[in-house]
Structure formats: C-alpha cells, structure tokens
Amino acid sequence: MNRIFSGMQPTRQLHLGNYLGALRNWVDLQNSYECIFCVVDLHALTIDQDPEVLRNNIREVAAAYIAAGIDPDKNILFNQSVVAGHAELSWILSCHTPLGWLNRMTQFKEKAGKQKDMANLGLYAYPTLMAADILLYKATHVPVGEDQKQHLELARDIAGAFNRRYETEFFPLPEPQILGEATRVMSLRDGKKKMSKSDESEYSRINMTDDADTIAQKIRKAKTDPEPLPETVTELEARPEADNLVTIYGALAGQSREQVLAQFAGAQFSDFKKSLVDLSVDKLAPITTRMKELLADKAEIDRLLKKGGERAAAIAEKNLNDVKDIIGLLRP
C-alpha cells in the first residue's frame, strides 16, 4: 500500500513557497494515495514560541490545508503533538542514528548560524523527529520542497540502518516526491535565498493570508534587473530574480518557464509584474477567503484536528508497538 506523510511547521504564516513547493501538490496526490497531512507543531518548538500565537498558528496551518483543497474526511489531518508516538519513536530512532549523520545536515548549520553552542538540542535533532514522523506511519512517499531533500535522505538512511540492525524489512524506505515547476521558490528580495517564513523582510515573501493590495505591493517591489524578459530559459538562468518571478508565474498558471517566455519575451518587468499580480491574486484570493471563513469557527477546526488525531493515533500505536517488540522493549 502506498501511503503519503507530509507536514508543515506552524511557525508564522505559510507563504507562496510552502504552497507551490508542497501544499498544492498534496491536493493532487490525495486522489491517488492514502494521505496523512500533519501540522508539525513539535518541530515548531525548535524556535522560541509565544503559546497563544503558536495555538493560533496551528489552527491557521490546518485552515490553509483545508482551504487549499485538502479534504479532512478523506485524508488524515491532525497536529503532531496529539500523537505521543512521534516523540517516542524519535527517541528510539535517535539511539540508532550516528552523530556524524546529523553533523552533515546543512539546514542545522544555516539555522544555528555562528552560535552553534547556543542552538537548542531540538534544532539539532529535528531530522530524527522528521524521520520518526514519516516512519511512525510506515509512509512510502513524502511530497516536499527541494530544501527537505537532505532530511528525507537521512530518514531513508535511518530506516535502512534499523532494518539491517534487526534483520527486518519493517520500515519502507520513504521516497521523496519533489514535484511541479516551483520546487524551490526564492525570496522576492534576493533570488539566491529561499523564500522563508523566518526571513526578516516581509517583502521577501507572499503570505497565503496577504490581501490583494499587499500582494500587488510586494510584487511591485520585488527585485529584478533592468533587462526585459529573455527568449530562452538558458538566458534566464543567469538572472536569479527574473528566473524566480517567471517560475512563480509558470507554477501558478500551470505552465513551464518556456511557455511563460513564449508569451512574455521582450516584455519589461513592470508589465510582466502586472500580469503576475493579477494571476497571484486570482489564484490565492479564494484560498485566503476560505481560510478566513474556516478560522471564524475555531471549535470546528479543533474538532477536525481531534478526529484526525484519533485516526493517526490508531495507526501510530500499532506501528510503535511493533517497533517495541522488534527491539526488545517489554510490553507487559
């Protein structure tokens, strides 16, 4: 059986990168796989959180999933912390993960910055918790943006090491699914930096909750160069900011970059940006409106998350018990 697990952190608002790199693909995949979509709130604790803001962000991410088209009845939709098995399996897997493997993780190096000794243990162990998230459900496929590829490879390595150690094929080796035209959406202020929730500049990203005026303002201010749009993708590749805007347009329009250039080659960026604003508002406004409607009834979101959590817990409990039996933890 093919099963998908994927998640997003409730750290600030979701942005266009989260949507195009992951969420939008989930919507298509829910028709072909058994899907488990998680709001990974334990991961969010790797940065300092205000409790009230965190609670709201968890609901907001759940609302974004549903507003984007995830069906909470057909799929399992829940928040990670309600299933204790994530933390439990994470501990078990961390005892099977050499430090050298974690030392290679580039995201930790980027996020910890120069003050590595001050970074918290959770940030360092983040990839082991992510491996536990996936393996707890014996997921076979994990749709993510390109930035998560290294963590996914580690999850495969951990699953393989566990299977070899206990001479079993218990864990499937999860396959990354890096799909679509926009696997790595870049910052609107710097075409060499990933669009990210934690970027200090609000103008670096389009949030899924931005209204039409804010989207227009951010796209108008997006960094570009003085040249018009080129004719070929090869010419585009030396111009990261231009490439990013063309990629975003293509992903929203369901077109390749070649198709976008066939339409806009020779156009000035001021004109292209107007079309990009119209397209972005057109695609995001219905999602934003639906999110607002959903968030007006917090009790209903909590009810959906509770129901999803119960369904997730049933699968998790069975798999975790099997893991305990395999490794010799007594369950009297």
Residues with catalytic annotation? 111, 194, 197
185 belongs to the binding site for ligand AQP (CB under 6 A):
yes
Q: Judged by CB under 6 A, which of 94, 119, 123, 184 binds ligand AQP?
A: 184
Q: Is 193 annotated as a binding residue?
A: no
Which among 13-21, 219-227, 233-241, 307-315 is the span making contact with ligand AQP, rule CB under 6 A? 13-21
Residue 251 and residue 180 in contact, taking contact as beta carbons nearer than 8 Å: yes
Q: Is 275 annotated as a binding residue?
A: no
30 burial type by CB count under 10 A (0-12 exposed, 13-18 middle, 19+ buried): middle
Single-letter amino acid, residue 16: L
**Shortest distance, CB of residue 111 to ligand AQP, whole angstroms?**
7
Question: How many C-beta atoms surround the C-beta of residue 138 within 10 A?
Answer: 18
Residue 178 vs 261, nearer CB to ligand AQP? 178
243 belongs to the binding site for ligand AQP (CB under 6 A):
no
Give phi and psi for 299, each to the nearest 5: -60, -35
**Shortest distance, CB of residue 262 to ligand AQP, whole angstroms?**
24
Residue 79 and residue 58 in contact, taking contact as beta carbons nearer than 8 Å: yes
Q: Is 11 annotated as a binding residue?
A: yes
Contact pattern for ligand AQP over residues 20 through 39, marking x by CB under 6 A: -xx-----------------
d(CA 181, CA 249): 10
Q: Is 223 annotated as a binding residue?
A: no
d(CA 1, CA 33): 9
DSSP string covering 242-298: HHHHHHHHHHHHT--HHHHHHHHTT--HHHHHHHHHHHHHHHHHHHHHHHHHHHT-H
Q: Judged by CB under 6 A, which of 145, 174, 176, 191 binds ligand AQP?
A: 145
Which among 29-37, 195-203, 216-224, 317-325 is the span making contact with ligand AQP, rule CB under 6 A? 195-203
d(CA 173, CA 120): 28
Tell me the site size for ligand AQP, rule CB under 6 A: 19
17 belongs to the binding site for ligand AQP (CB under 6 A):
yes
Task: Give 127's contacts (C-beta < 8 A, 6+ positions apart).
Answer: 102, 105, 107, 108, 151, 154, 155
Task: Compute CA distances 111 → 45, 122, 201, whole Å.
Answer: 14, 12, 16
Residue 162 vs 250, nearer CB to ligand AQP? 250
Q: Judged by CB under 6 A, which of 196, 207, 209, 288 binds ligand AQP?
A: 196
Q: Judged by CB under 6 A, which of 197, 218, 257, 273 binds ligand AQP?
A: 197
Question: How many C-beta atoms surround the C-beta of residue 224 within 10 A?
Answer: 18
d(CA 248, CA 144): 17
d(CA 186, CA 318): 40
* Closest residue to ligand AQP: CB criterion: 21
Residue 46 vs 162, nearer CB to ligand AQP? 46
Q: Judged by CB under 6 A, which of 147, 181, 210, 241 binds ligand AQP?
A: 147
**Contact set with ligand AQP (CB under 6 A):** 8-9, 11, 17-18, 21-22, 144-145, 147-148, 183-185, 194-198
Binding-site sequence positions = 9-11, 17-18, 133, 145-147, 185, 194-198
Residues of the binding site for L-tryptophan = 133
Residues placed in the known binding site for ATP: 9-11, 17-18, 145-147, 185, 194-198
